Chain A
Amino acid sequence: MNSNKKYTDEELIFQFQKGNERAYLELVNRFKDRLLNFVFGYVHSKETAEDIVQDTFLKLYTSADMYKEIAKFSTWIFTIAANLAKTELRKRKRRKIFSITDMGFDDKDYEIPSESNAPEKNITSKHQIKYILKAIHQLEEPFKTVLILRDIQELSYEEVSNIVDVSIGTVKSRINRGRLKLQKILKNLNK
């Protein structure tokens, strides 16, 4: 599959549209981790995030013909994943109407994954992560998406711009406003 490295994402999806299943697998390998982290920013559960990413790739498999070259492949696949994540959140909201756990800060809602880049993290920092995840969850949609992509996934402004399909200037402005909003939300949560 290393030979596929020279192909762009768009070339791979066109090959898959012609019936090349190896091109599909290469796209899966390229995007699965990025999509997982992106979706986790919405649903805060690794298991659910992985299910949503699988559904995203299933949709890619069944509806590959829907992709036209007007948008970047990354924009398209991230949009599918975001839509599926939002649907999952809506389902959860409906379920929560009948749930007593909705009354306060629910730890179950913000599952901290065991895989971590910083093994020295202690309980306090885990608690901090929970607060940050809750704060991100409260952000409005456009700010949430760019913050996840830029500050959690650490993508470049250009990559974020390609994924959300807006200019770099707009991305920068959204990131600035998103960070300020996040700051406010965290202050309120800590009160």
Chain B
Amino acid sequence: MNELERHVEKLFRHQPDTPETQELREEILSNLQAKREDLLAQGMDERAATEAAKRDIPSVDGLIDDQQTTNVERYRMACAQTVWLHCILFWIGTLPLLFTGYGWLGTVGLGLSVLSGVGYLLFWLLHPVMQGTRSLAGARRRKSMAWRIWGVFYAVAALSVAAMTFGSNLWYGTPVTIEGPYQWAVMASRFYVPLLTVLIPLTVSRFAALLPQYRVEG
């Protein structure tokens, strides 16, 4: 029984947790269990029966209605709130850099936080009531694309920093010497600054996670 449960779990892993998917999950599980029982009664051994049941439904693509009727206005407000919060988190992330040559990023953080806060406030004041459909799979696609792009970006950034910092050591075969905490801090900050951009894929991820919360029933 547990193996079938795990199989269904795996099928629904990337699906949003809505009442609809919950029901489908239960229905599929009960049907797979019934099939397994049936095969066992016909004389098949446990292993083969379980496998046969699992084979019957390899994925749930196409079974789940992807289009969600959404309260677009409130969804957008939630997104705007997320952007505001993430700008503040970015700003907090720049605070340790105030002691390094990247201190100006703190001012950038201040500007972004204020701007996004004002933007959110404006949204609050002018909210037009709006409903529409949004694709859940679309949101999920944007999320994974954002993460992939960021992954490539950071890998490139980190490699460039490493090349810049240790390149001449590698080329001439000299050992890397780091004299004192100040040098450590400078080196660490070079890797840390591009890392702050992780807030971008995090924001896109949050957008995808928020969408199911704003579905309109009926």
B and A form one assembly = no
